[in-house]
Amino acid sequence: MLKDSRIYIAGHMGLLGSALINKLKSGGYTDIVTKTRSELDLTKQDKVNEFFNKERPDFVFLAAGLTGGIIANKKYPATFLHTNIAIQDNVFHAANKYYVKHLVFYGSSCVYPKNCPQPMKEEYLMTGSIEETSEAYAIAKTAGIIGCRSYNSQFNSNCFIALIPNSMYGPNDNFDIEKSHVLSALIRKFHEAKIDEKECITLWGSGNPRREFIFCDDVADASIFAMENANKLQNFHYNIGTGVDYSIKELAEFISRIVGYNGEIKWDLSKPDGAPCKLLDSSKFFDLGWKPSVNIEEGLKVTYEWYLRNMKLFME
């Protein structure tokens, strides 16, 4: 991937897409193509084909898709399944048809079994039952991972690169209570509890599940590294994490301290926990020469500062 290569970022306004734009521009890449959802509906094959035929991108980062937390996944499983499969299927087909050199697709750690051995290795994919609360989304992402491998095998190429980042967070995350993931939801809940001067805050589940979080800039950096070192990659997916996990209770304490909330934290045991642990084994990707650089507290501070500047976007 050269500095003047034509690069298409699908989902450029989201958490990862915006981080990719910043990283690419700061790295000297000059020909970046973007389209908003209203300009290009990625669920429509004819529109996607028309775009690829006209723009002819050399490289594609497929950061577009429908994501959400436990509430959204339980409420809209069919929407998550259809939207994500449609987007990735259409973009894969067009990328192959119009000779894209490399495409990065993003899976999710929820594709691994609910009771997966820890840390989760790439070869554990489809070796057990997945978490029911994210089943539809996980199936769609699994299809994308297998899709990358299938296109490479059938067309004898290394065009498609599948990366599985663990839970991402950072600026431009979604802080909508229903649609957000756990970390952004916690930031908003603690901030509002502080503003409302609440004596206590009640969070879902037991707080015992452990999660690994990775800052969006690190995932963007890993993605560009993968593009630049595509000749070193095998036709398999790669985990992208930090190698460190935290309990939800620990994260709640981090966030309450950063936000400045001093009330009591209670836990609603009637609500689901989700998978007990989700720590990735990222050693295969680390062995290629890449490492993350942002620790959790540093990343949380940056994320909260961004939320304070933009929280009006998420007010009902």
pLDDT at 272: 78
Q: Could you tell me the two tokens for 5?
A: 């290569």
pLDDT band at 67 (very low <50, low <70, confident <90, very high): confident
pLDDT at 100: 98
pLDDT at 211: 92
pLDDT band at 18 (very low <50, low <70, confident <90, very high): very high
pLDDT at 189 over 80: yes
Of 8, 29, 76, 137, the catalytic one is 137
pLDDT band at 132 (very low <50, low <70, confident <90, very high): confident
Indicate the fold that domain 6-314 takes in CATH: Rossmann fold (3.40.50)
Q: Which residue has the higher pLDDT, 185 or 180?
A: 185
What does the pLDDT average to over 136-143?
A: 96
pLDDT at 264: 95
State the Cα–Cα distance between residues 61 and 51, nearest whole angstrom: 15
pLDDT at 17 over 80: yes
pLDDT band at 204 (very low <50, low <70, confident <90, very high): confident
Q: Could you tell me the two tokens for 209?
A: 């599940």
Q: Which tens digits make up the pLDDT trace of 115-129? A: 899 999 999 999 999
Domain ranges of the chain: 6-314
Show the 3-state SS of 1-58: CCCCCEEEEECCCCHHHHHHHHHHHHCCCCEEECCCCCCCCCCCHHHHHHHHHHHCCC
Query: What value does the mean pLDDT of the chain take?
Result: 94
State the Cα–Cα distance between residues 20 and 65, nearest whole angstrom: 15
Least confident of 44-58, 114-128, 199-213, 265-279: 265-279
Neighbours of 64 (CB within 10 A): 24
pLDDT at 309: 94
pLDDT at 316: 57
- Under 8 Å between Cβ of 118 and 277: yes
pLDDT at 71: 76
Least confident of 133-142, 220-229, 271-280: 271-280
How many residues are listed for the chain in this entry? 316
What does the pLDDT average to over 309-315?
A: 82
Least confident of 7-16, 69-78, 194-203, 296-305: 69-78
pLDDT at 27: 95
- Under 8 Å between Cβ of 163 and 20: no
Q: Which residue has the higher pLDDT, 132 or 226?
A: 226
pLDDT band at 299 (very low <50, low <70, confident <90, very high): very high
Q: Could you tell me the two tokens for 235?
A: 């036709």
Is residue 137 flagged as an active site residue?
yes
